[in-house]
Structure 1
């Protein structure tokens, strides 16, 4: 009789499970529908069918995002396992490798060098993972993450401004041109990211505290643009230590400039993230744990 009762239980439709997972990962019905090549109304209907099936509300709509209820969190964990098993069955029967795409966002100064080496090692360990890496300003990367366009991001932010999976303090370096120094100019020319960009307010506040006049001499949304402008003598700037070039000279206490340590590197991914997203996040956490080169 017990076996008969179990056989009469309704079966979960994997298509419905895939739909609710996509909504939870994207935090948006609209974005989920786009990624599923469907319509928002169709995806909403599938989520409602699941809720009717289990007899619980699975998703809550907030002011800015969508999050899973307690019942939804339990379902999402099992749903991810069921879909993974489904993929494994196809892989076992077809002999094909199931490709998992992880969309990663990193700041421009992390798009090469040590980060590339770390990503290459990860890819050798997990050849079934396809990495789609986007680089840009941290505020743009976070916006893309919030829209569900990225699965995992490494960004710069003011310390503790937003809860993250992991973080590490980032101490910055004041730089000037080695060949055409400009710190002695009056007013001091500044090379900065655009308005609302990182470090700009900290540069201004530091100079005003010193009693120095300043002017914005050059702005760029590109780190390479900032590096080049400073090297060519257009002004001083604040950058991460890894962005200091041989054509730069590092300024500091000798020039009366303060240590700027109000920022951190932070990693974000969703609680319902795919196992490969979590695995890559752990690799990035390990990379951040490596002691950074401190500015002089």
Structure 2
């Protein structure tokens, strides 16, 4: 039987993947660069695959390295979760978290389950509002942490996930073929709405905004009933939706960037722990495929993925 993987090697591997540099990773893990290189040689020997390739001065993950990345994060998370379960000095208290309802549907079950298992003495207070409202709550001290749609103009947030922003219609209606496109969007200060309108204007498509709501449930209902088209991140796709692409006459949209905002808090250790759980949970969540996905039309989604950078590539903001 093969020996188990070394968690220290996996931690170093993750640090190199995150920093893109053996030198910076050595500083992060408090080892010499030669020691880090030796760790990676041993890990590659253990896996039997090359994990890194040179790209100028940067070390990028190979295809096998990207494959290991997901497993490494899960193994290290499980290790921390196991140790926390036997820690008599575990965190306790109350933490206030906010998130838009479309992220809550997809991400909160995983986040809350993982965090509760590791920190059973911590009470979570959750509110669901659109990102602009959450930003205001953070500024006013009403929230300790928020999962938001990142916007450079709104304030600093730590981007923890990127997803395609997609045109969506009903799979059972030809709404997208109407000469005057009926649209369902969030409120006027929604950055997805502004991005979609910009692309429609550039395309020269006639449209009218038929529904406006901050509720993801309302927007999804308008789309699924065939009353309107909208834009949603990949995580918000639902059974019965069709993804529209260039073949349907719809131009590419910018990525959706999901970030963490931290408020002023007297319990930074709680916020740090929850932020870590959020980042790790989102890294492990994937969009459903095949039978699990129901009746999605994935042709445009597959095309959009082909055109996007690999996860470990640095992408510019928008």
- Work out which of the residue numbers 270, 275, 282 in structure 1 matches 2:276: 282
Q: 1:107, CA displacement in angstroms?
A: 1.5
The 1:155/1:124 distance shift into structure 2, 3 A limit, reads same
Gaps of 5+ in 1: 1-91
1:152 paired to 2:140: no
TM-score with structure 1 setting the length: 0.62
- C-alpha distance in structure 1 between counterparts of 2:277 and 2:185, whole Å: 31
- C-alpha distance in structure 1 between counterparts of 2:255 and 2:120, whole Å: 38
Contact 1:159 / 1:169 at 8 angstroms: preserved in 2?
Answer: no
**Cα offsets for 1:216-250 (capped at 9, x unmatched):** 11111100000000111111100111211112111
SS at match of 2:156: coil
The 1:267/1:100 distance shift into structure 2, 3 A limit, reads same
SS at match of 1:199: helix
- Work out which of the residue numbers 166, 172, 178 in structure 1 matches 2:171: 178
Gaps of 5+ in 2: 1-87, 288-297, 303-318
- C-alpha distance in structure 2 between counterparts of 1:99 and 1:282, whole Å: 16
Contact 1:176 / 1:237 at 8 angstroms: preserved in 2?
Answer: yes
Q: 1:114, CA displacement in angstroms?
A: 4.1
- C-alpha distance in structure 1 between counterparts of 2:140 and 2:148, whole Å: 16
- C-alpha distance in structure 1 between counterparts of 2:123 and 2:248, whole Å: 47
Correspondence for 1:74: none
- C-alpha distance in structure 2 between counterparts of 1:282 and 1:180, whole Å: 42
Q: 1:202, CA displacement in angstroms?
A: 1.5
Query: Which structure 1 residue ranges, 4+ long, deviate > 6 Å from structure 2?
Result: none
The 1:137/1:122 distance shift into structure 2, 3 A limit, reads same
- C-alpha distance in structure 1 between counterparts of 2:142 and 2:157, whole Å: 18
Give the total of aligned pairs. Answer: 201
1:258 paired to 2:251: yes
1:132 paired to 2:125: yes
Correspondence for 2:188: 195
Correspondence for 1:249: 242
Contact 2:144 / 2:264 at 8 angstroms: preserved in 1?
Answer: no
Contact 2:97 / 2:146 at 8 angstroms: preserved in 1?
Answer: yes
Contact 2:91 / 2:270 at 8 angstroms: preserved in 1?
Answer: no
The 1:277/1:128 distance shift into structure 2, 3 A limit, reads same
Correspondence for 1:82: none
Q: 1:187, CA displacement in angstroms?
A: 1.2
